[in-house]
Amino acid sequence: GENVEQHPSTLSVQEGDSAVIKCTYSDSASNYFPWYKQELGKRPQLIIDIRSNVGEKKDQRIAVTLNKTAKHFSLHITETQPEDSAVYFCAGGDNFNKFYFGSGTKLNVKP
Amino acid sequence: GAVVSQHPSRVICKSGTSVKIECRSLDFQATTMFWYRQFPKQSLMLMATSNEGSKATYEQGVEKDKFLINHASLTLSTLTVTSAHPEDSSFYICSVQNPGESPLHFGNGTRLTVT
């Protein structure tokens, strides 16, 4: 099955700085890569996703890039705010099949 | 609004008892639902894929006789943790996927504590 690795496990940035989280995947058949934000004790919420036929996608302060050849994708958050503090998970899988999650990155944005 | 309803949100049970967790798809019919387990400060680990009208597909290392899954209708899947032990204490969370669309919609999760 798919194996998704995520780095770093923790990330601390100053408010206003950018944050980058990176993931790699193993299964070349995977074609859909969502990113989820999870606050303590709550369900994961989808924040952005990308399909394998696209190299980059942006939504306001959040962007995701995908390198199919290298099998890695990254989440970029610009102008970070304290409310961005949470655990972020990347995932990979087939469009209509099960997803496997990375190990998570705890982002702390210091005011 | 919520797409997935999961109950109960919290449950405490004694070792050796069984606990049933329900997951309902509110907005669409879901032929497939997924059950995940999340230990503190860890990732979501896929346990099994629940298939409406047929047997669930379990991930490697997950005991199918311990984690019973029933998907009797297009909107309801249940996970029963049988003969629970303290090491089964975890956050169990279900998810559904609208057929033809990609994103997973998660339930609010169930915090299980086995004493």
Quote the tokens at residue A106. Answer: 């705890």
Can you give the pLDDT at residue A33? 93
pLDDT bracket for residue B1 (50, 70, 90): low
- Quote the minimal CA–CA distance from A21 to chain B in Å: 15
Mean pLDDT of chain B: 91
Residue B105: phi, psi to the nearest 5?
-110, 125
Tens digits of per-residue pLDDT, B67-101?
Answer: 999 998 889 999 999 999 999 999 999 998 877 67
- Split at pLDDT 50, 70, 90, the class of A40 is confident
CA pair distance B85, A107, nearest whole angstrom = 33
The answer, for A81 touching chain B at a CB cutoff of 8 Å, is no
Amino acid A26: pLDDT: 93
Residues 6+ apart with CB under 8 A from B22: B5, B6, B7, B76, B77, B78
Q: Mutate which of A87, A98, A106 to disrupt the B interface (most B C-beta within 10 Å)?
A: A98
> Residue A111 pLDDT > 70, yes or no?
yes
Write out the H or E segment, with its range, that includes residue B20: strand B19-25
B contacts of A49 (beta carbons < 8 Å): 102-103
Interchain proximity B102–A32, CB inside 8 Å? yes
Mean pLDDT of B37-45: 90
Tell me whether residues B42 and A96 touch, CB distance under 8 A: no
- Pairwise pLDDT comparison (B104 vs A47), residue with the higher score: A47
- Cα A86 to Cα A13, A77, B29, B39: the distances in Å are 12, 12, 31, 16
Between A94 and A106, residue with greater pLDDT = A106
Query: For A44-90, what is each residue's pLDDT tens digit?
Result: 999 999 988 889 999 999 999 999 999 999 999 999 999 999 999 99
- Residue in B36, B46, B96, B111 to test binding to A, most A beta-carbons within 10 Å: B46
pLDDT of residue B114: 97
d(CA B37, CA A101): 11
Q: Band of the pLDDT at A95, cuts 50, 70, 90?
A: low
> Pick from B43, B60, B106: which is nearest to A43 by CB?
B106
Contact B7, B111 (CB under 8 A): no
Q: Can you tell me the distance from the alpha carbon of A51 to that of A30, in angstroms, rounded to the nearest whole number?
A: 9
Q: Which residues of B touch A45 (CB under 8 A)?
A: 106
What's the whole-number mean pLDDT along residues A14-39? 95
Using an 8 Å Cβ cutoff, are A105 and A8 in contact?
yes
Interface subset of A 9-68, CB within 8 angstroms of B: 32, 34, 41-46, 49, 51
pLDDT at residue B2, rounded to an integer: 65
Looking at residue A38, what is its pLDDT?
94
Reduce the secondary structure of chain A to three states and give it as a string: CCCEEEECCEEEEECCCCEEEEEEECCCCCCEEEEEEECCCCCCEEEEEEECCCCEEEECCEEEEEECCCCEEEEEECCCCHHHCEEEEEEEECCCCCEEECCCEEEEEEC
Of all residues in chain A, the percent with pLDDT exceeding 90 is 77
